[in-house]
Structure 1
Amino acid sequence: MTIPSEYQRATVEFERFMVDARDAAGLATTNMAWNMVVGVLRTFRRRLSTQDAIDFANVLPPVVRAIFVADWDFNESPLPFDQNESLIDEVRDVRRAHNFSPDSAIQAVVHAVRRHVDHEAFERALAKLPAGAAKFWAATREGC
């Protein structure tokens, strides 16, 4: 069997993803977008059980999937989705001194992720997650 194309093109596809996230957030560089992407993915992951997080990760592109599961504290209990007012603060907690996440950071990453996933598989995965998960990823659907 040949190497699946999603792995053969992982670096190129990740660069495209980062450009989409950067542009959606109005940031100047993909380096500036890095902490935003990490922060949004971790903020979402912190609200899932381990099994739910793995199921969700399976529909992400390979490098985004790796970021989603990196530095995971499996002993941490999932947080509720109803803490929406503090989500952006949580995103900005990732390397705070070097985090350029705008108020629209979650929407920017949602936009970028949705542009780079299989939409049907993504929606099926979301449908199996706890209440609040679909709302988190519904922040922007236009143009995705």
Structure 2
Amino acid sequence: MPMPMELQHASEEFERFLAAARDEAGLTTRNQTYTMVEGVLRVFRRRLTLAEAIRFAGVLPPVLRAIFVADWDPLAPVLPFSDRVAMTREVQALRQHHNFAPDTCLADVARALRRHIDGDTFDRLLATLPEGAADYWRP
């Protein structure tokens, strides 16, 4: 069996996603964008059980999937979803002195992500996750 296309072109697809997220957020560098994306994924991951997080990771493109599970403590307590302002501040706290995530970072990353995944599959998955999950990924 040949290597799946999503793996053959994972780096190129990730670069396209980063460019889209950068443009949505009005950032200027890949590093700024990476930190924002990593923060958005980590904050969401903290609100899922291990099983929920694995299912969520399964709908992400390969590089985003790797970022989503990197440096994860699956035994950490699951946090409740809170308001968007509080979760945005949590995103902005990652590498705080090098984080340029705007106050619109949740919507910015959501818009970029939805252009790089199957939206129907994503929405079906979000409907199976805890209350607040679908709102988190609202563009």
Which band: TM-score by shorter chain?
Answer: over 0.9
Residues 1-144 of structure 1 aligned to structure 2 (within 5 Å): 1-138=1-138, 140=139
AA paired with 2:41? L
Whole-angstrom CA distance in 1 between matches of 2:85 and 2:108:
17
Whole-angstrom CA distance in 2 between matches of 1:35 and 1:74:
21
For structure 1, the 5+ residue unaligned runs are: none
SS of structure 2 residue aligned to 1:48: coil
SS of structure 2 residue aligned to 1:7: helix
Residue 106 to residue 17, structure 1, CA distance change in 2 (3 Å)? same
State the number of aligned residues. 139
Deviation readout 1:41-92 (Å, 9 max, x if unpaired): 0000100001000001100000001001111011111111124331111101
With 111-120 and 81-90 compared, the bigger mean Cα shift is at: 81-90
CA RMSD of aligned residues (A): 0.9
Whole-angstrom CA distance in 2 between matches of 1:84 and 1:78:
17
User: Identity of counterpart residues, as a percentage?
Assistant: 53
Whole-angstrom CA distance in 2 between matches of 1:101 and 1:120:
27
AA paired with 2:52? D
Whole-angstrom CA distance in 2 between matches of 1:137 and 1:49:
17
Deviation readout 1:89-140 (Å, 9 max, x if unpaired): 11012111111111111111111111111112111211110111011111x1
TM-score by length of 1: 0.93
Deviation readout 1:11-45 (Å, 9 max, x if unpaired): 00000000000000001112211110000000001
For structure 2, the 5+ residue unaligned runs are: none
